[in-house]
A and B are shown apart, each in its own frame.
Chain A
């Protein structure tokens, strides 16, 4: 009883964390943070007991809804997500006390805290929900809270539009999920309880339909291409700690759904794996290419979230292939890689969004081309952002590498004779993604934090208060800890991935020597420290940057973010279709011209937006049915009744 008790304490503490602030003015922020911290401790205790102690738990209660039961299952897979889902919101809440304070945002701060708490609570619920109705209930609360949080600055038209797209996408997703779960319930004889599927179901037409519906529904939440269209706008429009919650945790609920499908299906067909791998490879590369075209720091981070979700899809693809071909090693490595990357991303993406929030807080802009040289004005934020940037690029010795390494190992194992030869796709895609990520994040860090300020906005920046720095510091330390000692997580990964492969005896230990990463760090980090200190201690004098004798260098001669990425964005122009205006250069003395380029999302701008506009126009044509007269509506009722009557008689 202890574990369910702790779980429900976490759930209630988190869900109600915003309530005290609604009732009393003043100390609501601090109370909410401590309540979320309490939820975090409870959640970590439950996750630790399940993942390290091996004590899964269950709880069940009746529910008045037809087909629905309050059925909870604390398995290793859900518990693996429970840890970040309870820990990270607490840190974000402490950060928000400085970032979205009651003094500055007196009207919105209490509301925002309430939504934030409910969103966190619904995610906690999702990690253990074992009934489709319960799952969908939590899913809807989460999606609706996300919409309300995105729209908190609703006086801004761009924010309203992003919120609107978000709402449509969330409800389309929920509808697809409902349809998918209904197919499963039909197969289960009407029960909406979630659990293992019978052998042979996956290959049947109903299984195919259920998989495609659930994939689209979960994919819409996870933001994998081509279901990503709502994501960049929503994450850029929301306040930064909300973006961090959306990007770091909410997306992962879609991945959790796919992981559950993997765990329930004993015999998935091989094309499922191929589909997931293809989606992961294509959307990972294109998301980074889009990220390179963004000037908006937070939009850039949002595109990078799509890329990270794609990496998880690559791991999932391997895991599905392993199950389809009877190679549990692939399922273990791919699944553990996806899980570890999921955990890592829920640490470094909030760190980066908080860094972006601090930059906005200090300068009032998130346009990278207007920033520069912030590392000298806000050194601590710069260092923490650098740690997050290196981690998200998957560079050793930080945590991003450990997760990607497991997926790489999985794809190498897939190349063995009688393996899955398409395993080379995740390998090649990860190589391109890794190199592109370095380009994206050196660009972001270099343009925002290094060099000289490009405008006044950057020149008068100030360091953030400790209340905002401390949560970032904790996340950066966790990134370093997992990167240096990934073997600390091995028991948890073994248990969670064991549920995926259905072979709990299989261990990562013999397949991936996580201790080797510690050895590499132990060799490299002291060498680096010694060399760096040698350079720091060398006698030096300061001067201007070498300018080849040019007399009046200005900050404007620096490479811009757009210039830095130009060779790469040009290479992807044929698919990303940016809006470009080039001057026509004619004659020997051409007239002055202007050049402008604006990144676009071809799928949203050229396919979905026209589609939805057309649908709206069609719906408009049906408006004549809605006359507003009661008598006409009564005629409709009678006509329908007669039609039904004749149909049943025939």
Chain B
């Protein structure tokens, strides 16, 4: 791709992510309201909340240091950089190079590092609890993600997210790859739900239940800090969602079909998450590790099956 086209793609992808990311939460909540027979909050509610919170002042705990504010800032910054590295409506991402998938995953590890420290900075037992859970689940979630990526690297012969996912998107029809790809998709969906703290693994809507992970870590943030924490979470939902969507979306190669198809698939993913949240209860804490081990095994089998075929 030529320089100006990359720049155009970069700006398009950045704008799309920044503008549409909070929409996913609205779609999820609307679907849940429909299932429950309620009217529910407007689809654009999160945008309003963010605008309101950004205009407010904040209450800072006397226990905290500069790390506390770094938590949400790192979460937004890393998610924005990651948004430039995952392919969306085009075959390749604007920032792409051999091995970019490793950087992509480690950006989220960086975000986790600071979110956890920000939680511990308050000295609150609740936030310590959430932080302990967050680092525990990551130990299983990261290898599941990586095993899937390793399988795709083997399948596509590439080490950059763009060609890997594009090849996978075309691999579903006319070949024996659909089985292993389905296993990887299953693994990634679990990782996607865990990493984004969705039901059945975590409940983003309650605030004082003891089985929570992400919401409990940002308990002490207020005003702009809370806005950034929420915005960072919705960016993460969008970016990891893009990874899942592109795994099973065959591209046509014409931009006016691919981009709308991508956005539609993202909204469909949000609706699916809403359906899952409506029909399932939250799992016991112990079951989360078991589900993640299932994801790990599923990705591992996907890898082995692809080995036999390629």
Contact = CB atoms under 8 A, between A and B. Distances in A.
Contact of A435 (B70, B122, B138, B219): B138
Given A516-B100, A527-B77, A538-B224, A545 B122 contact: yes
A415 B100 contact: no
A524 B81 contact: yes
A431 B146 contact: yes
Interface residues of A, number: 81
Nearest to B75: A531
A545 B139 contact: no
B139 A413 contact: no
B120 A395 contact: no
A113 to B, nearest CB: 36
Nearest to A382: B65
Interface in A518-575: 519-520, 523-525, 527-528, 531-532, 534-536, 538-548, 555, 557-559, 563-568, 571
Contact of A516 (B97, B145, B150): B97
A442 B135 contact: yes
A400 to B, nearest CB: 10
Interface in A418-447: 421, 424, 427-428, 431-432, 434-436, 438-439, 441-443, 445-447
Given A405-B103, A516-B100, A555-B123, A527 B80 contact: yes
Given A412-B99, A447-B120, A532 B65 contact: no
Interface stretch (A202-210, A372-380, A592-600): A372-380
B24 interface: no
A507 to B, nearest CB: 14
Contacts of B110: 390, 395-396
Contacts of A411: 150
Interface string B107-151: 101101100110011111110110111011011011101110010
Interface residues of B, number: 76
A408 B99 contact: yes
Nearest to B158: A412
Nearest to B62: A542
B59 interface: yes
A558 B126 CA distance: 8
Contacts of B100: 516
Interface string B87-100: 00000000101111
Contacts of A543: 59-62
A511 B160 CA distance: 12
A512 interface: yes
A540 B73 contact: no
A442 B120 contact: yes
B78 interface: yes
B177 to A, nearest CB: 15
A571 B136 CA distance: 10
Given A408-B99, A450-B121, A535-B72, A564 B142 contact: no
A428 B112 contact: no
Contacts of B303: 424
Contacts of A565: 132
Interface string B44-60: 00000000000001111
Contacts of B266: none
A563 B132 contact: yes
Given A442-B117, A451-B120, A545-B123, A428 B106 contact: no
B150 A446 contact: no
B307 interface: yes
5 contacts: A442-B113, A446-B117, A531-B73, A539-B57, A542-B61
Interface of A: 372-373, 375-376, 379, 382, 386, 390, 393-396, 401, 405, 408-409, 411-413, 415-417, 421, 424, 427-428, 431-432, 434-436, 438-439, 441-443, 445-447, 450-452, 511-513, 516-517, 519-520, 523-525, 527-528, 531-532, 534-536, 538-548, 555, 557-559, 563-568, 571
